[in-house]
């Protein structure tokens, strides 16, 4: 290897607990479940972007059905609160600021 | 297929699972899975260019064998090396510069009566061509210099096709990556933690900072500078400096993070560039894999630091001009390169000829000065053409009062993008060590929370990365 090669991930860290692969599998698996529950909106938005057709229609319907059912149980609330806060930040104006041309 | 999309997530997850399950059976299978995945990734843009990628790898592989045979026979390698460099430059030149030269030559040819014979050829630019052709060239030069051994065909195809770096770098050299391909990769907890942090941080920089600045501030200002006020144009110039950093470094961070999750180490490509106190320092911190490539394969080939001050300055200037043209065949890139080359030459002259006893510029002022030189360069880099860049500068000088685009959020994002540059250099390593010690469920909850926050705050839709066009 060339002498000047350094990678940002060349870091010595504790090796206690699960090995790296186990750590990755558990963390990603849990993250996907949580995102499926709390961010099903993203799945529905992705399905909307699929080319409409007989094969994609059931996918889109299932994604929207899931998002609607989870929203009915209030699981979309954290995302909605954060999204509203983001929209408020985007709408903020300086005193006397002109409208965007 | 862009990194910050669900499409990419749905592509990457099966690849990750296959690599760490089927790929565990044999290292060759792991590489075959990665090659096939990389072709699917690249083919998502245009399947035709997968053939170009394979052909480019095949040409470089054959030429490397020829060079190695000549080295073993103690014969000159120059003809084969020259052929290799020309072949790579020909691929790059045709796709990247053919249209430009035709466009520039057209008026002359038409005036000379050859107008009717001009070929009508709309050359589509393959994504990432500048990166994989440079990689091919450095591979051949390294073999000729005895710095690396020829790779197997599979290793070279994977080196040039590996999807995390394929379309926008970092430019990973054979001497760095091929030895990693030859060994069975291992995934440490630090690589998992570091990889996930880099992916999430890149996602935030790209989708929240860069995309917001682009759509609400930079794009409107550069589209019609005459319609903007002075403060908006200043903010948009600073905004583009932050946007391009957050866009490009985000891609690099995600590339390094994705490779880390697959068990491979990519080099650092950015290191807080806007805290540089000289332009030379800036180029040690910005797009490090390109600047070190230009240093090792172009600047040194031009003569480097040999031959006295005049030749050093000439070599610096030429290297940066060619570095500018690497981005594309446009006058604006040429001027951007000339500005950087000129200032680098002036810095070198000042370093060698500065009268003794003259006080040095305090570091904060030097940082401020270099940042503003870089920002002026970015105006040329961002403008659609030379007329657009000059119009932007003229409107900036006219400085009409009022603010329409640069609202609190835009100013906040510019401030955040600059603040990133002044955090302690060891912050990422410290955070990685801490996260690596977390139990896996806590890491999973943190990843989900971070993605949820980023997805809720981000701009609707994802624009392509700026460096995809290069």
Shortest distance between the Cα of B289 and any Cα of chain A, in A, equals: 10
pLDDT of residue B204: 96
Cα angle vertex B460, ends B6, B405, to 5°?
145
CB B136 within 8 A of CB B57: yes
Who among B5, B265, B443 is closest to A27 (CB)? B443
Q: What DSSP string describes B173-220? A: -HHHHHHHHHSPP---HHHHHHHHHHHHHHHHIIIIIIHHHIIIIIHH
**Burial class, A79, CB count within 10 angstroms (exposed 0-12 / middle 13-18 / buried 19+):** buried
Residue in the block written with tokens 């120059």: B78
pLDDT of B207-242, one tens digit each?
Answer: 999 999 999 999 999 999 999 999 999 999 999 999
- Exposed, middle or buried, B468 (CB in 10 Å: 0-12/13-18/19+)? middle
Express each pLDDT in B308-318 by its tens digit. 899 999 999 99
Per-residue pLDDT of A17-28, as tens digits, reads: 778 999 999 999
B30 Cβ contact partners less than 8 Å away, ≥ 6 residues apart: B19, B22, B23, B24, B184, B185
Task: Work out the angle at residue B169's Cα, subtended by the Cα atoms of residues A42 and B188, and round it to the nearest 5 degrees.
Answer: 70
**pLDDT, tens only, A35-59:** 999 999 999 999 988 888 888 899 9
The answer to whether residue A1 scores a pLDDT higher than 50 is: no
Give pLDDT, residue B39.
Answer: 96
* Residue B186 contacts A where some CB pair is shorter than 8 Å: yes
Q: What are the Cα distances from residue A90, in Å, to A4, A79, B125, B229, B411?
A: 43, 16, 35, 20, 11
Please answer whether residues B148 and B108 qualify as being in contact, where contact means their C-beta atoms are separated by less than 8 angstroms. no
Q: Does B119 touch chain A (CB under 8 A)?
A: no
Structure tokens at B356: 């003794």
Select the residue of B195, B227, B456 nearest A79 (Cβ to Cβ): B456
pLDDT at B119: 59
Q: What does the alpha-carbon distance between residue B227 and residue B221 come to, in Å, rounded to a whole number?
A: 8
CA distance B182 to B186: 12
Mutate to test the interface with B, among A1, A19, A23, A96 (most CBs of B within 10 A): A23
Per cent of chain A over pLDDT 90 is 56
What is the C-alpha separation between B244 and B246, in angstroms, rounded? 6
d(CA B363, CA B133): 38
Specify the pTM. 0.91
The DSSP-derived string for A63-100 is HHHHHHHHHHTTTTHHHHHHHHHHHHHHH---TTPPPP
| pLDDT score at A52 | 87
B198 token code pair: 């880099």
Whole-angstrom CA distances from B336 to B35, B251, B324, B339, B382 are 36, 22, 6, 5, 10
Q: Is B340 a known active-site residue? A: no
Domain-by-domain residue ranges, chain A? 39-91
Q: Where does residue A17 fall: left (phi above 0), alpha (psi -120 to 50 degrees), or beta otherwise? A: left
DSSP label at residue B268: P
Q: Which residues of B touch A86 (CB under 8 A)?
A: 456-457
Cα B131 to Cα B145: distance, rounded to the nearest angstrom: 21
Cα–Cα distance measured from residue B467 to residue B289, given in angstroms and rounded to the nearest whole number: 14
Residues 202-261 of B with CB under 8 A from A: 212, 216, 220, 227-228, 253, 256-257, 260-261
Picking from A31, A4, A9, the residue whose alpha carbon sits closest to that of residue B260 is A9
Q: For position B126, what pLDDT does the model report? A: 84
DSSP for B325-359 reads HHT-S-HHHHHHHHHHHHHHHHHHHHHHHPPTTPP
In order, the DSSP letters of B82-144 are HHHHHHHHHHHHHHHHHHHHHHHHHHHHHHTT-GGG-----PPPPTTHHHHHHHHHHHHHHHH
Which of these is catalytic: B165, B176, B287, B327? B327
Q: Count CB-CB contacts under 10 A for residue B470.
A: 21
d(CA B233, CA B276): 24
Whether B319 and B304 have beta carbons less than 8 Å apart is answered as no
Low-confidence ranges of chain B (pLDDT < 70): 114-123, 469
**What's the confidence (pLDDT) of residue B329?**
83
Helices (H), B205-276: 211-213, 219-223, 230-261
Q: Are B401 and B229 a contacting pair, CB within 8 Å?
A: yes
Q: What is the pLDDT of residue A2?
A: 42
Burial class (CB in 10 A: 0-12, 13-18, 19+), B167: buried
**A–B: how many Cβ contacts below 8 A?**
175
């Amino acid at each position: 290897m060339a002498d000047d090669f350094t990678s940002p991930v060349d870091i010595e860290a504790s090796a206690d607990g699960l090995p790296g692969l186990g750590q990755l599998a558990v963390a990603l698996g849990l993250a996907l479940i949580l995102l499926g529950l709390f961010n099903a909106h993203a799945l529905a938005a992705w399905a909307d972007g699929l080319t409409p057709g007989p094969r994609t229609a059931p996918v889109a319907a299932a994604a929207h059905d899931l998002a609607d059912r989870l929203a009915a149980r209030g699981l979309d609330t954290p995302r909605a609160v954060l999204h509203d806060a983001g929209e408020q930040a985007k709408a903020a104006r300086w005193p006397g600021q002109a409208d965007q041309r | 297929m862009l990194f910050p999309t669900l499409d990419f997530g749905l592509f990457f997850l099966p690849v990750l699972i296959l690599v760490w399950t089927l790929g565990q059976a044999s290292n060759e299978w792991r590489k075959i899975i990665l090659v096939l995945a990389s072709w699917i990734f690249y083919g998502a843009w245009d399947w035709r260019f997968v053939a170009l990628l394979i052909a480019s790898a095949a040409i470089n592989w054959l030429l490397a064998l020829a060079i190695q045979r000549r080295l073993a026979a103690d014969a000159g390698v120059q003809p084969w090396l020259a052929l290799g460099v020309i072949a790579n430059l020909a691929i790059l030149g045709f796709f990247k510069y053919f249209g430009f030269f035709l466009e520039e030559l057209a008026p002359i040819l038409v005036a000379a009566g050859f107008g009717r014979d001009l070929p009508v050829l709309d050359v589509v630019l393959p994504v990432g061509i500048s990166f994989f052709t440079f990689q091919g060239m450095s591979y051949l030069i390294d073999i000729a210099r005895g710095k690396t051994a020829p790779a197997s065909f599979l290793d070279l195809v994977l080196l040039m096709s590996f999807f995390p770096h394929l379309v926008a770098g970092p430019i990973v050299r054979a001497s760095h990556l091929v030895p990693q391909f030859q060994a069975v990769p291992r995934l440490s907890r630090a690589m998992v933690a570091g990889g996930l942090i880099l992916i999430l941080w890149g996602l935030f920089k790209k989708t929240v900072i860069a995309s917001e600045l682009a759509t609400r501030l930079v794009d409107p200002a550069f589209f019609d500078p005459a319609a903007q006020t002075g403060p908006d144009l200043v903010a948009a110039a600073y905004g583009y400096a932050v946007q391009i950093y957050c866009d490009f470094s985000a891609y690099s961070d995600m590339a390094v993070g994705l490779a880390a999750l697959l068990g491979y180490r990519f080099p650092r490509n950015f290191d807080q560039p806007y805290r540089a106190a000289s332009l030379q320092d800036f180029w040690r911190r910005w797009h490090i894999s390109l600047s070190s490539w230009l240093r090792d394969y172009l600047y040194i080939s031009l003569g480097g630091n040999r031959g006295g001050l005049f030749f050093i300055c000439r070599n610096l200037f030429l290297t940066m001009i060619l570095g500018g043209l690497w981005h594309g065949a446009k006058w604006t890139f040429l001027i951007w390169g000339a500005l950087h080359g000129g200032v680098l030459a002036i810095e070198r002259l000042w370093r060698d000829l500065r009268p003794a006893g003259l006080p040095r510029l305090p570091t904060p002022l030097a940082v401020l000065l270099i940042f503003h030189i870089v920002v002026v360069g970015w105006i040329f880099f961002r403008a659609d053409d030379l007329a657009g860049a000059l119009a932007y500068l003229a409107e900036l000088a006219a400085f009409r009062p009022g603010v329409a685009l640069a609202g609190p959020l835009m100013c906040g994002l510019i401030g955040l993008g600059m603040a990133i540059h002044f955090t302690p250099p060891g912050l990422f390593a410290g955070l990685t060590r801490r996260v690596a010690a977390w139990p896996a469920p806590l890491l999973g909850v943190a990843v989900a929370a971070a993605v949820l926050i980023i997805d809720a705050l981000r701009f609707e839709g994802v624009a392509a990365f700026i460096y995809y066009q290069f």
